[in-house]
Structure formats: structure tokens, C-alpha cells
């Protein structure tokens, strides 16, 4: 997928601390933070040890030193905040902000679960 494809498969917005899950057959491929904020829940699409390639709040990506993972990756903690304007890319099945953000929020870009 190329940067010009962002938004091609759908875009959502949240400014609450509610859990967002994409529709069936889709995953979150990018998160753009419109305000400085932390992530409460970020669930990677690849959760099995040895295949964890995307940072998340449940376990450490790139920690198993396999052909798909590097070494020394850490788990994303709720205390880790992203600055306003930052976009992170990956493949996630759910996302929840740490706190509501009145007047700001997070743009959620979707993509197909398979085929890219």
C-alpha cells in the first residue's frame, strides 16, 4: 500500500476513550494523532510469538529474534504519548485512546485484512 492509498478503504475519527474496531475484513493501517495523546489499547493483527511485527499494548513486537522479528522490541505502554500531528503505520485490530480529547482526536485509516 502506498501513501496515496490512505483513505481509499475508509477513514474513521474518534475523540473519545471508547474502543474502535474496524469492520469485518478490515484492519487499522494508520493512526494520525491530531492532539498529543497516549494509547490505552492498540491490538496488533499479528499476535503469535515469532510473527509480531507491529508495536502494540499487549506484547512486544520484534522481540523473538526470528526471521520475521528483530530483537529488543518493547511493549507500547499507556504512558507512551505521541505528539500532535504524528502518524503511525501498522496493522491493528483495535484501538482505544487513553483519554477523551475535546476538540481534537485521532484519525483512523482502514485497509483490507489480507491482500496487501
Helices (H), 29-69: none
| CA atoms of 116 and 111, how far apart (whole Å) | 9
Domain that holds residue 10: 3-46+81-112
pLDDT exceeds cutoff 80 at 35: yes
Cα-based distances in Å from 90 to 29, 82, 103: 5, 15, 26
In Å, how far from its chain's centre is CA 16?
Answer: 16
The verdict on residue 10 lying in a domain is: yes
DSSP bridge partners of 41? 96
The verdict on residue 101 lying in a domain is: yes
pLDDT exceeds cutoff 90 at 58: yes
The verdict on residue 34 lying in a domain is: yes
The verdict on residue 56 lying in a domain is: no
Model-level pTM? 0.89
pLDDT band at 115 (very low <50, low <70, confident <90, very high): low
Poorest-pLDDT segment among 1-5, 15-19, 48-52: 1-5
The verdict on residue 70 lying in a domain is: no
Amino acid at each position: 500500500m502506498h501513501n496515496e492509498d490512505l483513505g481509499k478503504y475508509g477513514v474513521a475519527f474518534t475523540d473519545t476513550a471508547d474502543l474502535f474496531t474496524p469492520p469485518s475484513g478490515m484492519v487499522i493501517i494508520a493512526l494520525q494523532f491530531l492532539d498529543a495523546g497516549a494509547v490505552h489499547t492498540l491490538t496488533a493483527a499479528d499476535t503469535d510469538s515469532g510473527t509480531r511485527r507491529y508495536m502494540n499494548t499487549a506484547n512486544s513486537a520484534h522481540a523473538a529474534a526470528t526471521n520475521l522479528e528483530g530483537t529488543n522490541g518493547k511493549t507500547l505502554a499507556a504512558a507512551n504519548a505521541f505528539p500532535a500531528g504524528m502518524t503511525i503505520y501498522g496493522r491493528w485490530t483495535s484501538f482505544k485512546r487513553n483519554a477523551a480529547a475535546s476538540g481534537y482526536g485521532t484519525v483512523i485509516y482502514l485497509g483490507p485484512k489480507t491482500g496487501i
